[in-house]
């Protein structure tokens, strides 16, 4: 099979997937939204840094109103990720701790992959990883981590791959999103 035929097959597959309504509709079914992930991370960071977390602390950490923080924390509580005691102190449930660990692992893998393999600048890599960290399935996250580790084991192959990706992406980067 010639290279152009392969690219045409891949383009057709991408177009088919992109136009399949069932994929994008599942986005809204995610257990954790981007905002909820940030609320959960704020609670975890506060507990680690201060030893306690309250809704007012979450609001201050995220630079949002107490009302917004209260709504966000209420969602976390309804999903069994956070508990609040009589003194209004927040704590993570076992599920919350497990989810935070997965989100942090996903962030690390995604940002490393974007930066070290795709050669994306660190600031952009971290911003993109933040947008995706809570959306990855455990299977995709594990396979991506395995791929990253396999590529990083061989520095010569990694350098060759990064250079090839840079060459392939160069025309795309010059044109931006237009076209």
Q: Where in the chain is the domain with CATH 1.10.10.10?
A: 34-92
Structure tokens at 161: 């791959």
Closest CA to 72 of 104, 44, 43: 43
pTM over 0.85: no
Say whether pLDDT at 44 is over 70: yes
* CATH tag for 34-92 (out of 3.40.50.300, 1.10.10.10, 1.10.238.10, 3.40.50.1370): 1.10.10.10
Q: Which of 56-60, 125-129, 164-168 has the lowest mean pLDDT?
A: 164-168
Query: Start-end ranges of CATH 1.10.60 in the chain?
Result: 98-175
Three-class SS string for 100-144? Answer: HHHHHHHHHHHHHHHHHHCCCCHHHHHHHHHHHCCCCCHHHHHHH
pLDDT band at 137 (very low <50, low <70, confident <90, very high): confident
71 in Cβ contact with 81 (< 8 Å):
no
Structure tokens at 46: 């506060």
CATH architecture of residue range(s) 98-175: Orthogonal Bundle (1.10)
* pLDDT interval class at 30 (50, 70, 90): confident
């Amino acid at each position: 099979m010639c290279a152009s035929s392969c690219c045409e097959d891949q383009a057709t597959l991408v177009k088919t997937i992109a136009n399949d309504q069932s994929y994008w509709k599942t986005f809204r079914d995610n257990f954790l939204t981007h905002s909820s992930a940030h609320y959960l991370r704020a609670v975890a960071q506060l507990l680690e840094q201060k030893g306690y977390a309250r809704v007012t602390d979450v609001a201050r950490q995220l630079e949002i109103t107490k009302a917004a923080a209260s709504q966000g924390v209420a969602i976390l509580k309804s999903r069994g990720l956070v508990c609040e005691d009589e003194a209004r102190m927040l704590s993570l449930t076992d599920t919350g701790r497990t989810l935070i660990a997965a989100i942090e692992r996903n962030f690390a893998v995604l940002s490393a992959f974007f930066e070290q393999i795709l050669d994306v600048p660190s600031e952009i890599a971290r911003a993109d990883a933040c947008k995706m960290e809570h959306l990855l399935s455990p299977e995709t996250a594990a396979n991506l981590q395995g791929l990253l580790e396999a590529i990083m084991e061989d520095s010569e192959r990694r350098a060759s791959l990064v250079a090839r990706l840079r060459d392939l992406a160069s025309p795309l980067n010059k044109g931006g999103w237009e076209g």
